[in-house]
Every structure is written in C-alpha cells, then in structure tokens.
C-alpha cells in the first residue's frame, strides 16, 4: 500500500507512473477527492484556500524530506494538466503535479522544462516512483510545517488537517 497524506478535500500521493525518476527529484500529485471537479475554477472559496495552503506546505516539505533521503531537490515545478484524460474519453478531475528537480538529472535535465511525451513512446520506462520511505519523510515534514505559525488553521480559515 502506498502511503498518502489527506486533508478534508485532497490527497497527496506519489505518482504511480512518474514523469521523472525518483533519483531525479520525484513526482507527487495532489488530487481532489471530489472527482466531479475538473479544475480550480470550480472550487468554492474554502476549498480553494485549502488547496493553496496544502500546495504551499507540500512544496516546502517535499525538498526538505527528499534531502534527508539523499536527493537534493533544487527547484520544484507545479503543473495543472489533465489533458491525457481526453485520450481515454474521460473528463479530467483537478489534480496538481509537483516535480522535484535536481541539478544532476539525466532523463529530465535541469534547467530545461519538463518533457512530457505520450506514454506510448517508452520514454518513462524505468522511472521509479517515490517509495513509502520517501512518503513517510514527506508526511512527517508536512505535519511539522502545518504547526508553523504561517500555516496554522486559524490563519487560513481552515478546519484542522
């Protein structure tokens, strides 16, 4: 079972078929639990606040935790996409990709933009996802950051995570 972190409306988890290898920084997704929501324009204000806050906390936690795991992330890239759902005749639902970028990356070289060819090309073969041990460190760091003054519930008008 893959370790995840959850808030009232969102789930943070490693992408099972990542767009860059773990050793090149790793790939997380923040997914909305209500899969009828296609993109951020459909969020009610309270959920939009929760989403932004969670994105910021995960963005702070991810490189700190991965550095402890021996992977030095120097930059994060955040992307809303969902285009590939249309290839399968599906309606996309809101999710955010967070890519850790490392200086020594080979498959997704830094500082180039992410290269995202179709899955059928074989480009992603051998790209291993983040491990449960990685996620354990990330979750520990997320929980620590949520206790910081800047991210406390009352500052964000949020329910406890």
Q: Can you read off the two tokens belonging to residue 53?
A: 């806050």
- Contact present, 151 and 145 (Cβ < 8 Å): yes
Q: Where are the domains of the chain?
A: 5-110+127-156
For residue 132, how many C-alpha atoms fall within 13 Å in the half-sphere facing its CB?
Answer: 3
**Count of residues for the chain?**
161
What is the rounded distance in angstroms from the CA atom of residue 24 to the CA atom of residue 152? Answer: 32
CATH of domain 5-110+127-156: 3.30.428.10
In the predicted model, is pLDDT for residue 161 greater than 70?
Answer: no
Q: What is the pLDDT of residues 13-52, one digit of tens each?
A: 999 999 999 999 999 999 999 999 999 999 999 999 999 9
CA of residue 108 relative to chain centroid, distance: 17
Mean pLDDT in residue range 140-150: 97
């Amino acid at each position: 079972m893959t370790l995840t972190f959850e808030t009232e409306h969102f789930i943070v988890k490693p992408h099972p078929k990542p767009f860059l290898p773990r050793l090149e920084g790793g790939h997380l997704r923040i997914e909305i639990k209500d899969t009828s929501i296609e993109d951020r324009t459909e969020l009610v204000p309270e959920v939009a606040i929760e989403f932004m806050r969670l994105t910021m906390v995960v963005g702070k936690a991810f490189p700190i935790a991965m550095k402890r795991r021996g992977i030095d992330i120097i930059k994060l890239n955040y992307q809303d996409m969902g285009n590939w759902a249309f290839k399968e005749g599906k309606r996309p639902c809101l999710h955010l990709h967070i890519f850790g970028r490392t200086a020594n990356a080979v498959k997704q070289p830094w500082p180039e933009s992410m290269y995202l060819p179709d899955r059928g090309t074989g480009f992603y073969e051998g790209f291993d996802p983040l491990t449960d041990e990685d996620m354990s460190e990330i979750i520990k760091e997320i929980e620590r950051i949520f206790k910081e003054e800047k991210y406390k519930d009352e500052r964000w008008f949020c329910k406890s995570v």
